[in-house]
A and B are shown apart, each in its own frame.
Chain A
């Protein structure tokens, strides 16, 4: 297995309340890794540990290491904006920036000064909107406000916006949970298409979605990593009693 992200002894507590307890994990490159588990098990916290979003939470204390391509993202000399450029995030609900569709996609490329001129920007915006499967729907209203799009379109716009800064890793925090079934299916298809180029880590509490998407599965329970392995192995021959119970729908 080609490991992209290594999590070593990662512990997180919010104030005095421990949320993650010494997590050790290897996340494979170029696959969809699904983190599943009942609510409150620490899935989202684990995900937030991968783009240093935990430091936005008041009172969060992080111990341990997360290495992406061998680089510890918690080392004192790394640039957090560079980490977040490299690790994109698709949130539960789409939050388009208060600007046009075009500017939403261009925003990241502008702040990271990734593009030299306007025609190159036009081409890239088109490319990433295509990658997110939104181009055909918005090509004639690129300069209209992003807020006017439907929820499902907004989520695909957020996907395009995230891809535009050329990340290596894409995180998804239940990215379809606020969407209608058709839009959710759109997003799922895009994620499957994108996994060749990106390492994708998804949090979901929908078992069926996990089964549809996962190449690699991590099962969390009460702040601990209970079991991880290939989707086939975890779904068909779970080693742990708690995993079996979860898959059987017991909690």
Chain B
């Protein structure tokens, strides 16, 4: 009796240490990344970086700013997220409300999971070939479309996973009042699952704004501010990539500053939408 008792406690002790180690590793690496970006990026950060376009060539310049990349990234990730939302919310609602657990829905989910796993460079290459075929040059629009494709499976599956948690009894309460399935989806499910839906949108936005490979060919790069959908557009991930590959420490530190800006954008969008959700959240059934 006493021995078994002791063994259980030892096992618990070992697992506690394992869990704690994992926890420290994960939070530690996050802190380390943030510390690196901040310690190298902060000194290089200046008002000019936020308000000017690059001087002396996109990745050679030691002066000027990256406003073109900030705007380009915001436009592309914002546009891509909006376009992806246009398709993924209806898809996710259809999966839950109409298909439920039919075999069809399982195929769709499998397809989306595979798409989620495809490396982003493949989306970039696919978009590039497609654009060549219709005679389009690297442009802001091309970047938006590539990011839409990249974000679509992520957003749809993330929403789908959330919407599947919809309490069936709540859906039935609405059906019992004579709602059509569409009314249930739009008036009840969307409202009930709003926090999760917003999280899914954010997840996709974060993935989109941070992705370099898919916009490399499709949006190209430029020193100019993005003013036309059909002209090339700069982006933060590519600004980081190019600046970091320069042999000059000053330019490299500007890459860290760009990374810091990118991180802050994601953080701001994330905090902003969470605050919004909290305000809309009060009505939710628990």
Contacts and interface: CB of A to CB of B under 8 A. Distances in A.
Given A93-B169, A97-B188, A108 B283 contact: no
A111, A112, A161: residue with the most chain B Cβ atoms closer than 10 Å: A111
Contact of B175 (A56, A100, A107, A165): A56
Interface in B158-200: 167, 169-170, 172-180, 183, 187-188, 191-192
B178 A95 contact: no
B5 interface: no
Contacts of B284: 98, 145, 147
A113 to B, nearest CB: 12
Interface of B is mostly: helix
Contacts of A89: 176
A97 B285 contact: yes
A89 B173 CA distance: 8
Interface hub of A53, A89, A97, A162 (most chain B Cβ within 10 A): A97
A146 interface: yes
Interface string A211-243: 000000000000000000000000000000000
Interface in A32-64: 51, 53, 56, 58
B285 A98 contact: yes
Interface string A177-197: 000000000000000000000
Contacts of B283: 98-100, 145-147
A111 B191 CA distance: 16
A165 B175 CA distance: 12
Nearest to B173: A95
* Most chain B C-beta atoms within 10 Å of own C-beta, residue among A56, A86, A98, A146: A98
Interface in A137-172: 145-148, 158, 161-162, 165
A96 interface: yes
B187 A107 contact: yes
B43 to A, nearest CB: 48
Contact of B192 (A58, A88, A93, A98): A98
B169 A95 contact: yes
B97 to A, nearest CB: 12
Residue of B170, B173, B191, B284 with most partner-chain A CB within 10 A: B173
Interface string A85-107: 11011010101111110000001
A122 interface: no
Contacts of B176: 51, 53, 84, 88-89, 91, 162
A95 B175 contact: no
A84 B175 contact: yes
A83 B179 CA distance: 11
Contacts of B100: 58
A159 to B, nearest CB: 12
B178 A98 contact: no
B177 A107 contact: yes
B178 A111 contact: yes
Nearest to A81: B178
B282 interface: yes
A69 interface: no
A120 interface: no
B172 A53 contact: yes
Contact of B172 (A91, A148, A165): A91
A112 B178 CA distance: 8
B178 A147 contact: no
A33 to B, nearest CB: 18
Nearest to B169: A95
B286 interface: yes
A108 B188 CA distance: 12
A108 B169 contact: no
Interface of A: 51, 53, 56, 58, 81-86, 88-89, 91, 93, 95-100, 107-108, 111-112, 145-148, 158, 161-162, 165
Interface of B: 100-101, 167, 169-170, 172-180, 183, 187-188, 191-192, 282-286
24 contacts: A51-B176, A53-B175, A53-B176, A56-B172, A58-B101, A81-B179, A81-B180, A84-B177, A85-B177, A95-B170, A95-B173, A97-B173, A97-B188, A98-B170, A98-B192, A98-B283, A107-B177, A108-B178, A111-B178, A147-B282, A147-B286, A161-B177, A162-B176, A165-B177
